[in-house]
Amino acid sequence: MMMELSAYRDIFIEELNEQLERIDQSLLTLEHAPAPELVQTIFRAAHTIKGSASTMGFREMSDLTHEVEYALEWVREKKPEITGKLIDTLFRALDAMKLLRTQYISGGDYADCSAVVAEIKALINMPDEPQPVRLPVLSPAERLLAEEAVVAGYSLLSVAVTLKEECLMKAARHYMLLQRIEDVCGKVVAVALSAAAAIGADEDSRYIRFAVVAAAGKDIQQISEQLAGDSDVQSIAVTPFVPGPETVTGAAAVEPSLAGPPSSPNMERGNSTQPTVRVSVERLDHLMNLVGELLIEQTSLADLSAAGLRNDPAKVLPGIGGVSDHMGTIIKELQEGVMKTRMLPIDQLFNRFPRLVRDLAHKLGKEIELLIQGGETELDRMIIEELSDPLIHLIRNSTDHGIESPEARVERGKSPKGMITLTSFHEENQVVIRLEDDGQGIDAGRIKASALSKGIITEEQAGFLTAQEAIHLIFEPGFSTAAEVSEVSGRGVGMDIVRSQIGRLNGIIDIETVPGQGTVFIIRLPLTLAIIKGLLVNVSGRVLILPMYNVAEIVRISPEDIQIIQGEQAIINHGRIVPLSWLRDKLHYPRTERSSKTIPLVIVRSVDRIAAFAVDEIIGNQEVVIKSLGVYLGTMNHLSGATILGNGRVALILDASYLVSH
């Protein structure tokens, strides 16, 4: 029985991701600092991928990595100059490997990588020699046919055929030979054609090599003799067929002629992979120790309870209080320990960006270096996954709009090479990410003029805008200062995505810029979205929760402090106009009588926006566990979840991003 491989699918994908990332990083380093050790690292990674892919029956990946491995072996032996063309070719091969990985996970048809293979061979002047035939893994129907033949006393053979180059009408000869093989052997189980022809070759060349799995009642010698003698055949090899993920029979690389990509019969491609997190044994041991302490305290509590039943309960109250305090400490540590198991170093995200910057710099004709700092900073896995798109758009913005061309930089007395610095660090209970460039900065006047011309703001609104507020217009949908739409930018959607994504993560974004010197984007994010510190407020007799990392300030005002600006209620806070809303009206709750002469306000900030919300009472803050509302309630944009309070009641958690933007 063939080994059940689907159980190892997730492990294979995780290892594949690691090795592809290793190749990516090593190629980037190799481009700037060639070293034999880097070539060896890439070679080992490719060899590992080839072996594991072959084991999993992922022949498309193993075939491609075989070519990459061959090219790297050539580099190791010939020691050629590491040119840009060589690096670009290896990067294209890496992109093809990543595409195959994506198609493997999703279950889609595999891409044709023959163009990449041809490019590799052309680069190293490698002749397009035929590679060993890999017979197709039998489909369930073909396996059943083969099993029936074996039960009937037939033996399974593989017949690998290579036609002569000068053979005319190779497709017709292919079908004639198939008929002959069936006549000689008895039954054809499966057929595979040679891999896609090289670029520029005609379709007929696909039939120059093919392999057949046949069920025969004769021995190999007899069949070989009966099939020999065709003037259009260069070679025929007949060998026993052994089912497996990769069976080599000695002609050319082949692919199944049936529709759809070949795959192992025991593999379940396209199944959704379960997200995984690697946790150090040290952290697991710490959690185990805490659970052990919790069990000890549970036993102590049970003993005290029994003692209280036998004697005066008042005598055991101090002991119960002590045990309760200790249990609270242990539970707090346990909570922190479990949260740390969800944490990943942010360099797992940052390491994707050097390649992005390299490709963009080449495309734009600029010289740009990316410096990464603080990659060891840990962040919740879910936040890391959601943070990828916003950072990609910010980096694209910096490379296209921020960093000038080498000629323009030299004219301004700068180095021709631009610098982008990506930094992360912890600050209190948040993670701060800084993306800084030494480019031309942002001109607030130009931003305002562009927003006016596109109808994003009116003349009246433009008159009230400060320079900082004008700069934040870059986050508005449809905004762009690009003169024309290019592959990199100009569509006016990138920065809008940044704001919406950061808002969904309950984050905040600031911009610091000096025209002619550069720009800094500062993103502040919570460490995790699973447990938050929330501000409890009372609105129309209901307890609601606002995430504390969105609370900029809590103030009390008198009704006289409320102003009407452009027909809307607002307050002046630290010299800034802040729009004011009554939270009860926002949520369509009934109004209640107010006895206090002052109005408690919560000033909430999300991404680059700020708003004040009037509530009935500020209760206090506490840590809460966010629970999903589920699909039963439908889409409720103003809520991010709910939690259960200490008294057993349910409190709704408000989505600050939605409230501020609507």
- Any idea what DSSP says for residue 248? B
Angle at 419 between CA 418 and CA 420, to 5 degrees: 130
Which listed residue (397, 506, 550, 573) is catalytic? 397
Residues 6+ apart with CB under 8 A from 541: 592, 616
Tell me which residue of 204, 208, 182 sits closest to 194, measured CA to CA.
208
Residue count of the chain, please give it: 662
365 token code pair? 């004709």
252 token code pair? 């050319």
Residue 5 to residue 8: CA distance in whole angstroms: 6
Query: First CA to last CA across the chain, in angstroms?
Result: 61
- How would you class 263 by CB atoms within 10 Å of its CB: exposed for 0-12, middle for 13-18, buried for 19 or more? buried
- CA quadruple 582, 584, 588, 593: dihedral sign: negative
For 247, the 3-state DSSP assignment is: coil
State yes or no: is 397 an active-site residue: yes
State yes or no: is 47 an active-site residue: yes
Tell me which residue of 148, 147, 174 sits closest to 162, measured CA to CA.
174
State yes or no: is 550 an active-site residue: no
Partnered with residue 611 across adjacent β-strands are 604
CB-based contact 264:5 (threshold 8 Å): yes
For 45, the 3-state DSSP assignment is: helix
What angle, rounded to 10 degrees, do the helices at 59-78 and 84-106 form? Answer: 160
Which listed residue (31, 60, 67, 69) is catalytic? 69
Q: Measured in whole angstroms, how far is the alpha carbon of residue 349 from the centre of its chain?
A: 8
CB-based contact 614:622 (threshold 8 Å): no
CB-based contact 536:622 (threshold 8 Å): yes
CB-based contact 408:367 (threshold 8 Å): no
Sheet hosting strand 430-437, strand order edge to edge: 367-373, 417-427, 430-437, 518-526, 508-514
CB-based contact 29:38 (threshold 8 Å): yes
Which listed residue (15, 47, 469, 512) is catalytic? 47
Q: How would DSSP label each residue in 553-622?
A: EEEEE-GGG-EEETTEEEEEETTEEEEEEEHHHHTTPPP-----SSEEEEEEEEBTEEEEEE-SEEEEEE
Tell me which residue of 63, 57, 52 sits closest to 18, measured CA to CA.
52
Q: Could you list the active site residues? A: 47, 69, 397
